[in-house]
Structure 1
Amino acid sequence: MRLEEFITDEGSRRLIERTREYARHFFDREGAHGFSHVERVFNLCMHMGKEEGADLEVLALAALLHDVARPLESAGKVDDHAVEGARIARSYLKSLGYPEERIAAVAHAIEAHRFSRGPEPRTLEAKILSDADKLDAIGAIGVARVFMYSGEHGRDVEASLRHFEEKILRLKDLMYTETARRIAEGRHAFTVAFIERIRREMEGEI
């Protein structure tokens, strides 16, 4: 993805690229919640944000920083990576002299990106980030991530399928924006077809 197609201001692009490198150093390994997930969410946010008319700089910063505390949560060092991620983002952006009202907008989007916990996203940018994070759990990449996570945690195929049914298949109906709802339809259909196919194969269908 060419950033200049979305962000025309050179200073804004430099800030976003600097933030990308800052965010990257929080991730020492790949996995279901590695930096590749952050990059995909960022790309989704840029495309969706342009279509929805969002503030793309705020959205870009929030997308890049939304999971910086995920490794800390995985290690049991923090309870909620969204809350801690917002704190890290505030400190980082403040150190750059970024305007306070825009820091607040970035931090809110990060705090509100988890569908399973509050707060509810209040701004368009927060809604798009939440939607993009959910979209990365649906479709072909969502299937791959579920089984990556299962491999990381010793979860078998049946447990993985229960995760699809208990969480992943619910996501289509939790989107905030029209753009995300449209994207989710196709990804959801792929996921349903995959589950139906793998269950048939598990039953020995030729």
Structure 2
Amino acid sequence: MAPDLDSLARRLAVPHYDDALPAHDAFHAERVRDLSLRLAADWDRSVDRGVLAAAAWLHDIGRPLERTGEIDDHGEWAAVEASDLLASEGVAADRVDAVVHCLRSHSIRSNSPDPETPAAKLLFDADKLDAAGAVGVVRLACIVGERSGRAGEKYAAIDSGPVPGTTDAGGTDDARTPDLTLLREWARERLDALYTPPGRRRGESRWAFMQDFFDRFEAETAAPDS
């Protein structure tokens, strides 16, 4: 009897997230799994939902190692690791290959291959949608904090304007690219890359929420009238 890929992949994947930071932890993997299956239900394409669920659980298992510099590409590492794990559990070779393609193509990086199968496109879209909407605002703020820490700063400043007293490379006082702008750019880049009709529909809804949030944020942080 063929193993249940969804539950099997969850069991294999979750321990890899023990050292993950909040933006790419097991909760993120579970949200991507749930959303990818919802997208599949809204699309008129045939999809192996076991492959899709397994890929969602496994897609970021390499993130903790990538964060600490032990590997360079979490998608490629996950593909190799998942291939070995699933094969050792008796998963059929064609389904292992299908999961591996999803993992190799889920990233938005320029060197990642394009997703070619329905499952790979759905995983890509669900992963990117988790960087949009209400959840996306929180996740992207977490990512800014992670990257700011690596850049040597004590914390990430999420604001709508310049930091007083700072100077940009051109010598202009009080100038920088605010992290709020960075959140907008990261979310928009991901939503513009979506592949599936149900993914794009959800992306439009999530972007509308983010626009409202950004407008409210800017209103709350606006300088007082002089």
Residue 171 of structure 1, CA deviation: 2.3
Counterparts of 1:88 and 1:171, CA distance in 2: 26
Preserved contact between residue 19 and residue 64 of structure 1 (Cα < 8 Å): yes
**TM value normalised by structure 2:** 0.81
Say yes or no: does 1:149 pair with 2:146: no
Counterparts of 1:187 and 1:58, CA distance in 2: 26
Counterparts of 1:124 and 1:75, CA distance in 2: 32
Aligned-pair Cα RMSD in Å: 1.9
Q: What is the one-letter code of the residue matched to 1:125?
A: A
Residue 147 of structure 1, CA deviation: 2.0
**Corresponding residue SS for 1:161:** helix
Q: Structure 2 residue aligned with 1:42, among 29, 33, 49?
A: 33
Pair 202,72 (structure 1): closer, same or farther in 2 beyond 3 Å: same
Q: Structure 2 residue aligned with 1:28, among 11, 18, 40?
A: 18
Question: Taking every aligned residue pair, what percent have the same amino acid on both sides?
Answer: 37
Preserved contact between residue 72 and residue 81 of structure 1 (Cα < 8 Å): yes
**Corresponding residue SS for 1:187:** helix
* 2:85 counterpart residue number: 92
Q: Structure 1 residue aligned with 2:212, among 166, 174, 193?
A: 193
CA-to-partner distance for each residue in 1:27-56, whole Å, 9 max, x for gaps?
Answer: 124511111100000001111122223110
Q: Structure 2 residue aligned with 1:128, among 122, 129, 133?
A: 122
Residue 111 of structure 1, CA deviation: 0.4
Q: What is the one-letter code of the residue matched to 2:6?
A: I
Say which is worse superposed, 124-133 or 144-153, in terms of deviation: 144-153
Residue 12 of structure 1, CA deviation: 4.8
Preserved contact between residue 175 and residue 181 of structure 1 (Cα < 8 Å): yes
**Corresponding residue SS for 1:169:** helix
Preserved contact between residue 63 and residue 129 of structure 1 (Cα < 8 Å): yes
Structure 1, unmatched stretches of 5+, are: 1-9
* 1:18 counterpart residue number: 8
**TM value normalised by structure 1:** 0.88
Residue 71 of structure 1, CA deviation: 0.8
* 2:174 counterpart residue number: none
Pair 205,127 (structure 1): closer, same or farther in 2 beyond 3 Å: farther
Say yes or no: does 1:176 pair with 2:195: yes
CA-to-partner distance for each residue in 1:61-106, whole Å, 9 max, x for gaps?
Answer: 1111111111111111111100000011100011012111111110
Pair 108,205 (structure 1): closer, same or farther in 2 beyond 3 Å: farther
* 2:105 counterpart residue number: 112
Preserved contact between residue 113 and residue 121 of structure 1 (Cα < 8 Å): yes
Preserved contact between residue 89 and residue 107 of structure 1 (Cα < 8 Å): yes
Greater share of helix: 1
Query: Based on CA coordinates, which of the two structures has the bigger radius of gyration?
Result: 2
CA-to-partner distance for each residue in 1:119-147, whole Å, 9 max, x for gaps?
Answer: 00111100000000000000000001122
Say yes or no: does 1:77 pair with 2:67: no
* 1:5 counterpart residue number: none
Preserved contact between residue 3 and residue 90 of structure 2 (Cα < 8 Å): no
